[in-house]
Structure 1
């Protein structure tokens, strides 16, 4: 049994296929004669164009987040800085075209790794584009995902975005990598495709080709040579459960099930999947990969694309969550010693108040032009003063329903006071676990600490739920915990009034809720609040709910 970080829920069993090995490092001792250097430069330029064109074709055939990620890779291949730096190495030092691209990419990769967080995970993107350009220069076949007619589990050290996106519609049933984190492209696309995935699995590439493995994306485990009964259970669990568009408990109590989205394409897919609304619209995806903030008009167009998919339905919009693992050049400093505890989320408004005001104005304009019921909430709130200032700004912009994210223990402990200011709250369980357990959620070796089943996290959720009950206010969950069928009834018992998740989880969560009454949910919640460990909490819930 190998363990890692489960980043995409579900279970699947099949034989192992390894990702083809990357291209070997080009020799460094070759010196190109001055007379031949311009032809080497031309080879770099033409190869970059060819790779960009190939990725453009793939982008056109992809959808949703896969399309966005492939397009980001295309932009990397088209980056004039990469081509010019590699060309300079040829002209100045006589490097071969392949070697120059390799060395230039190494510098870019090192710079990204130094930034940490989400930017460090993009090092795989650089390596992917590097290998594609070098393969084009050398006129050799590009390594990638093997073509198979039978179901398989893809095992690799890491996966580039183009590799992961290429899995759509194929026979891959699960992903296992030695590297990567919850915000890597492997994780993002695996969730969008509904493929169970476990990353950060030490020793994964040592699993023999052809061996049967059981991948459990919920528990973050990879079992080699599982029993037939376990394989049968995994296949049963892998069946997509349809969602009829209404979340409710066994006693008829309604429990709205929303979707987490990053843009218009995600919103359309969520609506098709039956989501009752949007519980988390991550607006930062409209800001990524830009040197300057989008204009108000550009933001209005992006927001309308999401709102239009849910007429007369609730859409909860989170304002810009820049910083930490999602730094933006126009919002964040180039360096912070501890970015997870730095200027991120709402704190960006301290430095750039116009950025928040423009976003609120754009959202209000978009809401006027669409029929969705728009709520707005701020991320990374820690004090009553921060909540009061945000609520004042949002209402001044014309937005009537205002809320905040509960991601810090401080906000959870102040929930009663915060409810005097805001109309609703939404629990970001990923960050709440990170800050409660003081464990970087991007670090796979601390995955056991970044677990919503940790008793300290559950007790904070319970405190927020009780504060919401006292005043009759909405308490949502939009973190990864919202899509966990085993945890969903417990969250309801703790006082949560809605859950938001990836659209593919809607049916499984709805089925789990439909098996339990309000009393059973409350009983399970009471049981987990007495637990001392995450394992004890799971066992306590299972004992009550019969799973």
Structure 2
């Protein structure tokens, strides 16, 4: 039986199913025998303990897991949730029931929003379960430990559990719910866990069933044949050999270099990125320095962190994006005024231009860090839409000591006049997530239009091609730093459209490196043309796959 879902990464796993235990039962709605004040003390104490436990798990896990779990810890003690629990306790409910109802109401609110916010709803379920378990003096929900390697099947997996999975025991992960932007997917990608999420029919799998988890093909095969198991095991061995091989610079089969860089959000992740083969950094997000703060960090604080990042990449390119606030990342000291449509409002370079002192301080800190290290620092502005914005940023950057200044191409306007944009700066980097959002007029946080959020769409590819052509004509580098670069086949298409470097989550580097090595530049251009000629995203991917399979240098390879 074949079960379809969304694969995370390109891996494959084979093993017996072990299902997550059922969640705790819903607390009985009965009057408390304690007064509301005593119940409130119980509720607050348990919420505090759970918050501390989540923060501790995050500190041990590090990386993106730490960010996710610290956010969960904040949820566990959210003042609005505590207020709602208190209101419910005043009606005579038990702490267990009040916590259940308060979290459930907020969960339903997020679920109704869909998209990114909808996928945060599962996080609230996990926190609620943990608080209730503590109140009832029961073990917190968690991953089973049968004593042998297994494929974990769950309705969804909480970030606290995903972050701490024992990868010597958990061969693969299958979830019934969730999507490619869920925390389960994000953490599975970072930890290189073979996973298929949103596999609705996986609910029918039973403990002990042998399955093949084929993330590369968005597939779970239940009760596979001997031939299917043998094929999966051969692919596992092939991937193991590939990962064990010495890391080489990214290149096509004809030797055309394609530097493979890492997307990072903190200097703490630099060492792991280098270990996984990053040739530098294609996108360093600086937002983490500014978020959850009432004032911007000082020049000195910023300089220290940038210096630590640059020191990790001696002699290598490090592309830093200046503060990209706005839309889903408002800051009280920059742009916290309510907007009806913040994705189209005061964000990116617009917000920085409005509050230039913040941009000046950031550029000053970056220039100082550059002077103190020997990395090759490039700095770019987010959300550029006009030549005027480009000139504004590059002029200011050079005035403050930045040697290489560029822009992100995330708007159709910037792509359509890429020749003039690139004429006013040193390089461009295409953010495929936002470029897709604005090209398709589909909010990337809205679940109801998630099907349109696909960078394979020929309209998006055509715009990327415009930027690539402009870069080639002017001799200016054009990088890709959106999620599209992590798709091994789409990476080939992007190079065929003119991308000169690719940046992605470090865990995707090995797969993309292997994919590029199968094709010449001529192959990549032909595969890209096949995708451009299609009518939609799914058709473009199918056309590219057919073209890739028939490419002369790809004979004998499997295209995922």
TM-score (ref. length: structure 2): 0.87
**Contact 2:527 / 2:544 at 8 angstroms: preserved in 1?**
no
Q: CA deviation at 1:133?
A: 1.5
1:176 corresponds in structure 2 to: 174
**Contact 2:493 / 2:525 at 8 angstroms: preserved in 1?**
yes
1:539 corresponds in structure 2 to: 546
**Contact 2:118 / 2:447 at 8 angstroms: preserved in 1?**
no
Alignment of 1:149 with 2:147, yes or no, is yes
Q: CA deviation at 1:106?
A: 3.6
Structure-1 separation of matches of 2:353 and 2:99: 41
SS in structure 1 opposite 2:180?
coil
1:55 corresponds in structure 2 to: 54
Structure 1 residues 400 and 58 mapped into 2: Cα distance closer, same or farther (>3 Å)?
same
2:315 corresponds in structure 1 to: 312
**Contact 2:488 / 2:512 at 8 angstroms: preserved in 1?**
yes
SS in structure 1 opposite 2:141?
coil
Q: CA deviation at 1:442?
A: 4.6
Q: Alignment partner for residue 363 of structure 2, among 360, 365, 370?
A: 360
CA deviation map 1:510-529 (0-9, x unaligned): 22222333333333334433
Structure 1 residues 19 and 438 mapped into 2: Cα distance closer, same or farther (>3 Å)?
farther
Q: CA deviation at 1:387?
A: 2.0
Q: Alignment partner for residue 419 of structure 1, among 415, 422, 439?
A: 422
Alignment of 1:259 with 2:246, yes or no, is no
Q: CA deviation at 1:470?
A: 0.7
**Contact 2:149 / 2:169 at 8 angstroms: preserved in 1?**
yes
**Contact 1:161 / 1:185 at 8 angstroms: preserved in 2?**
yes
Structure-1 separation of matches of 2:204 and 2:447: 19
Q: Which moved more, 1:534-543 or 1:468-477?
A: 534-543
Q: Alignment partner for residue 490 of structure 1, among 490, 493, 507?
A: 493
Structure-1 separation of matches of 2:334 and 2:207: 46
2:374 corresponds in structure 1 to: 371
Q: Alignment partner for residue 462 of structure 1, among 462, 465, 470?
A: 465
Structure 1 residues 177 and 169 mapped into 2: Cα distance closer, same or farther (>3 Å)?
closer
Q: Gaps spanning 5+ residues in structure 1: where?
A: none
Structure 1 residues 182 and 351 mapped into 2: Cα distance closer, same or farther (>3 Å)?
farther
1:281 corresponds in structure 2 to: 284
Aligned residues: 544
2:183 corresponds in structure 1 to: 185
Structure-2 separation of matches of 1:515 and 1:46: 57
Structure-2 separation of matches of 1:452 and 1:77: 35
Structure 1 residues 126 and 178 mapped into 2: Cα distance closer, same or farther (>3 Å)?
same
Report runs of 4+ in structure 1 exceeding 6 Å deviation.
Answer: none
SS in structure 2 opposite 1:22?
coil
Q: CA deviation at 1:407?
A: 2.1
SS in structure 2 opposite 1:419?
helix
Structure 1 residues 200 and 326 mapped into 2: Cα distance closer, same or farther (>3 Å)?
farther
1:30 corresponds in structure 2 to: 31
Structure 1 residues 452 and 188 mapped into 2: Cα distance closer, same or farther (>3 Å)?
same
Structure 1 residues 448 and 81 mapped into 2: Cα distance closer, same or farther (>3 Å)?
closer
**Contact 1:177 / 1:199 at 8 angstroms: preserved in 2?**
yes
Q: Where in structure 2 are the equivalents of 1:294-305 lying within 5 Å?
A: 294-305=297-308
Q: CA deviation at 1:136?
A: 0.7
CA deviation map 1:244-279 (0-9, x unaligned): 242223333322111111112211211122311001
Structure-2 separation of matches of 1:215 and 1:334: 46
Structure 1 residues 378 and 228 mapped into 2: Cα distance closer, same or farther (>3 Å)?
farther
Q: Alignment partner for residue 499 of structure 1, among 483, 499, 502?
A: 502
TM-score (ref. length: structure 1): 0.89
**Contact 2:115 / 2:447 at 8 angstroms: preserved in 1?**
no
**Contact 1:5 / 1:447 at 8 angstroms: preserved in 2?**
no
Q: Which moved more, 1:244-253 or 1:273-282?
A: 244-253
2:72 corresponds in structure 1 to: 73
1:348 corresponds in structure 2 to: 351
Q: Which moved more, 1:495-504 or 1:523-532?
A: 523-532
**Contact 1:531 / 1:540 at 8 angstroms: preserved in 2?**
no
CA deviation map 1:40-91 (0-9, x unaligned): 333223323432343344234323222332233334445566556534643x
Report the RMSD for the aligned CA atoms in angstroms.
3.0
SS in structure 2 opposite 1:21?
coil
Q: Where in structure 2 are the equivalents of 1:69-148 lying within 5 Å?
A: 69-79=68-78, 82-83=81-82, 86-87=85-86, 89-90=88-89, 92-109=90-107, 112=110, 118-148=116-146
SS in structure 1 opposite 2:378?
strand
Structure 1 residues 495 and 123 mapped into 2: Cα distance closer, same or farther (>3 Å)?
same
SS in structure 2 opposite 1:492?
helix
2:218 corresponds in structure 1 to: 220
SS in structure 2 opposite 1:376?
strand
Q: Which moved more, 1:240-249 or 1:444-453?
A: 444-453
1:64 corresponds in structure 2 to: 63
1:46 corresponds in structure 2 to: 45
**Contact 1:311 / 1:370 at 8 angstroms: preserved in 2?**
yes
Structure-1 separation of matches of 2:6 and 2:339: 26
**Contact 1:270 / 1:503 at 8 angstroms: preserved in 2?**
yes
Structure-2 separation of matches of 1:447 and 1:108: 22
Q: CA deviation at 1:306?
A: 2.0
SS in structure 2 opposite 1:260?
strand
Alignment of 1:472 with 2:475, yes or no, is yes
Q: Which moved more, 1:275-284 or 1:199-208?
A: 199-208
Structure-2 separation of matches of 1:11 and 1:334: 47
Structure-2 separation of matches of 1:476 and 1:29: 60
SS in structure 2 opposite 1:65?
helix
Structure-1 separation of matches of 2:11 and 2:452: 20
Q: Which moved more, 1:93-102 or 1:327-336?
A: 327-336
Structure 1 residues 531 and 331 mapped into 2: Cα distance closer, same or farther (>3 Å)?
same
Structure 1 residues 100 and 351 mapped into 2: Cα distance closer, same or farther (>3 Å)?
farther
**Contact 1:319 / 1:359 at 8 angstroms: preserved in 2?**
yes
SS in structure 1 opposite 2:488?
coil
Structure 1 residues 458 and 85 mapped into 2: Cα distance closer, same or farther (>3 Å)?
closer
